[in-house]
A = this chain, B = another copy of it.
Amino acid sequence: MSSKKLIGVDLGGTTVKFAILTLDGDVQQKWAFRTNILDEGQHIIPEIVDSINHHIDLYKMSRDQFVGIGIGTPGTVDLKNGTVTGAFNLNWKKPQALIEQLETGTGLKAALDNDANVAALGERWKGAGNNGDEVAFITLGTGVGGGIITNGEMVHGIHGAGGEIGHMIVEPEGYLCTCGNRGCLEQYASATGVVHLATDAAEEYAGDSKLKAMVDDGQEITSKIVFDLAEKEDDYLANEVVDRVAHYLGLASANISNILNPEFVVIGGGVSAAGEFLLSRVNAAFQQFAFATVRDSTTLKLAELGNDAGVIGAASLAKRFM
């Protein structure tokens, strides 16, 4: 039996996370450092290479003990050429030969995918996806991202836009999105979307509400504040906002499921910290909008891996080198 290892790298705008995993996906070592985006981000890949080499030495391991490296990255990935474009939060203004530099620098084989997709792969493999072949993943953070796995394979589509769940239209004449369209899920279910809904709701509401008082007072509102006011203080307006967020998330989850009938729709990311309180309401909307067979066979779940989803899913990319 092989005891080879996988390396997973989760490259983000703030930190780069690393992990060494067994082939079964058990994390054996983890480390991280702050992403250095100076000088158009040209230090990022060399620093990743150095860190991997350093840790292989540190753990007194050799290269032939590793199957390879998997990396999740922001931006648009070119799977065939192993390059990344448009990762603006890394300050990468030109396409980056990520795979070539990783492989040359470490002497290991490397594979990449975008950050939302590797998080989906992580949750699918070792988290809420229960290693199933049919999993949809929605991550609610500053934006809304996602990844879709059908027949056991990640869906990239013809030009890499597979899994852009945040840009499903849930309100055709709704809020303007950064993508230029109106009514994208991202505008209602991201952290900023929740705040936008809360601000607008406060403006229209005349009744008694702490949320409204805070908005009217010019205090900074976060999605966490909205969920806390709804759950812990039973604030009327905050509950209205949570219901709208849940409506749109339930509608999107149901429409994904009505066409793909996944085993699980996994909801993760910062906003999902609201946990079962949010999930139960999303599920109510999902039940309303899902087709009968789907209602009975697709299950909504909270993500289970937190920040580790990225490194675990990234590592799973390297299994192709076995």
A288 to B162, CA, bound (A): 18
> Contacts A146-B259, A157-B261; is A291 near B162 (CB within 8 Å)?
no
A95 contacts across to B, CB distance below 8 A: none
> Are the C-beta atoms of A161 and B263 separated by less than 8 Å?
no
**In the assembly, how many copies of this chain are there?**
2
- A260 close to B (CB within 8 Å): yes
- A160 close to B (CB within 8 Å): yes
Distance (whole angstroms) from the CB of A165 to the closest CB of chain B = 6
> Are the C-beta atoms of B260 and A157 separated by less than 8 Å?
yes
A29 contacts across to B, CB distance below 8 A: none
A148 to B251, CA, bound (A): 20
A256 contacts across to B, CB distance below 8 A: 259
> Are the C-beta atoms of A158 and B259 separated by less than 8 Å?
no
> Are the C-beta atoms of B261 and A162 separated by less than 8 Å?
yes
Interface centre among A150, A257, A298 (most CB of B within 10 A): A150
Stretch from A105-113, A167-175, A228-236 that touches the partner = A167-175
A180 to B295, CA, bound (A): 12
Interface size on A, residues (CB 8 A): 49
A296 contacts across to B, CB distance below 8 A: 159
> Are the C-beta atoms of B298 and A158 separated by less than 8 Å?
yes
Give 1 or 0 for each of A287-302: 1 = CB within 8 Å of chain B CB.
Answer: 0111111101110000
- A197 close to B (CB within 8 Å): no
> Are the C-beta atoms of A259 and B164 separated by less than 8 Å?
yes
Interface centre among A179, A259, A260, A296 (most CB of B within 10 A): A259
Pick from B146, B167, B168, B258: contact of A164, CB under 8 Å: B258
> Contacts A169-B289, A293-B160; is A148 near B255 (CB within 8 Å)?
no
Distance (whole angstroms) from the CB of A292 to the closest CB of chain B = 6
User: Which 3 pairs show the lowest CB-CB distances between chains A and B?
Assistant: A157-B261, A159-B297, A161-B261
Q: Identify 4 new A-B residue pairs, CB closer than 8 A, beyond the known A157-B297, A158-B263, A159-B294.
A: A150-B155, A159-B297, A167-B258, A167-B291
| A interface residues (Cβ-Cβ under 8 A, vs B) | 76, 132, 134, 146, 148, 150-151, 153, 155-165, 167-169, 172, 179-181, 184, 247, 251, 254-263, 288-294, 296-298
